[in-house]
Amino acid sequence: MKTWTDKLDSGAPSQVKPAPINIAGMKAGEIMLVPTARQVDDFIRALPKGKHMDVKVLRQTMAKQHGAEVTCPITLGFHLRTVAEAAFETYQQNGDIAAMTPFWRVLDTNTPTISRLSFGTAFVTEQRLKEGLKD
């Protein structure tokens, strides 16, 4: 069985293509980034300590960085969970918070992805409090 870290480094390459349907504020035909989990991980790692970015802004910013108008909300949702689970998996192995992808800078208690995390919300809330981030 694949670990979350395996999933972080696997999957299809990223694509920039026309959006097939209207969904989550995205209109059919807009140029859409379909990112990889690793691209999402790299983006979140670049967020400075104490800085929160909501998922909507993350989608807009990633799209612009890759020459697209929008980022696929479905793919990004899957990848946000993969990034968080892989980061927590790494933390469980080495106990080093500093080595983790700081996914709590994007995920807060209002983000739907948080309810699907295998390790619950307390860890996320604790890390957000340590960085002075509010939900």
Which helix (H) or strand (E) covers residue 78, if one does?
Answer: helix 73-94
pLDDT in tens, 94-132: 999 889 999 999 998 888 888 899 998 999 999 999 999
Structure tokens at 51: 């800085």
**For residues 3-21, average pLDDT:** 93
* Other CB atoms within 10 Å distance of the CB of residue 135: 13
pLDDT of residue 135: 65
pTM over 0.85: yes
Closest CA to 11 of 86, 116, 82: 82
- Going from N- to C-terminal start, the domains of the chain cover 4-130
What angle do the packed helices 37-45 and 73-94 form, to 10 degrees? 70
Which helix (H) or strand (E) covers residue 33, if one does?
Answer: strand 31-34
Q: For residues 84 and 93, what is the distance between their CA atoms, to the nearest angstrom?
A: 14
